Amino acid sequence: VNPVAGAYSTRRKWSRISKLLKYVGLSFDYEYTEGVGHAIELARAAASDGYRYIVAVGGDGTVNEVANGILHSTSPTETSLGVVSTGTGSDFARSVGIPRDYTSACSFLVSSRRRLIDVGVVEFKSKGQTLQRFFVNVAGVGFDATVVEATEKLPKYFGGTIPYLGGLFRSLFSYRNKLVTLSVGGRVEAKRILNVVVANGGYVGGGMHIAPKAELGDNLLDVLIIGDMGKFELLKALPTVYKGTHINHPKVG
């Protein structure tokens, strides 16, 4: 349980959520997370200790950490991930079809069937070390990563897409498009890009339909390359991202 998810509202909501979980017939232990990375440690320990159902109560960041904990445990294929969304974006829940209100999500935990989904993995360097991180929804390189970093620094008084838009506008005029080398399917290309998205699920930013053709269980990751798009081009195209029609833009491939 991430008590600070959803503009610090999850701690207050947890009393109600825990009662709902008991009402639908679930018995459980729970732990509050205490900072970044703590959910990874808790989920890894729980899965390794024999817990076969681990539920992330929080936002997309909490889901990501719990998934990483499970996948880095000694029992990654025997442990199922459940989600009760209390965060601002809830994009993974939206992508997978989990109700985004916590009352329905609690019932969904016992009424739904388990589903096998794909997982992506990112390798990166930090402080001289090569590290590995899994993702279940979307990974971004370029402008998207800058926006997420900016969004994390903003107060999240509102849910949905508003915090992400705040991060977007905060980053827009300071960001410079990047020259990157892309290797996809054996093809290597150097080009200047605004953003690269590798999508398992379809949604980011509290409802932006970034990868409308993405399917969580098709054994594929969808790669979306947004080329050397200018700031005003981006602003003009922004409304189309919510409909998924941005993929028709000539600089999106």
* 156 token code pair: 């999240």
Q: What is the DSSP letter of 136?
A: S
Give me the DSSP letters along 53-115: EEEEEE-HHHHHHHHHHHHTSS-TTT-EEEEEE-SS--HHHHHHT--SSHHHHHHHHHHSPP-
The pTM of this model reads 0.91
Average pLDDT over residues 76-104: 95
Q: Please give the residue that has the higher pLDDT: either 130 or 157.
A: 130
The answer on pLDDT for 212 being more than 90 is: yes
Complete domains list, the chain, with CATH: 5-111 (3.40.50.10330), 120-248 (2.60.200.40)
Yes or no: say if 154 and 163 are a contact pair by the CB < 8 Å rule: yes
Which 8-state DSSP code applies to residue 247?
G
pLDDT class for 71, splitting at 50, 70, 90? Answer: very high
Q: What is the pLDDT of residues 139-179, one digit of tens each?
A: 999 999 899 888 888 776 676 788 888 999 999 989 999 99
Does position 54 have pLDDT exceeding 90, yes or no?
A: yes
Residue 201 φ then ψ, to 5°:
-100, 175
Terminus-to-terminus CA distance in the chain, angstroms? 38
What are the start-end ranges of the E strands in the chain?
53-58, 80-85, 120-126, 129-135, 138-142, 178-184, 187-193, 195-199, 222-226
Interacting residues of 234 by C-beta distance below 8 A, sequence separation 6+: 143, 172, 194
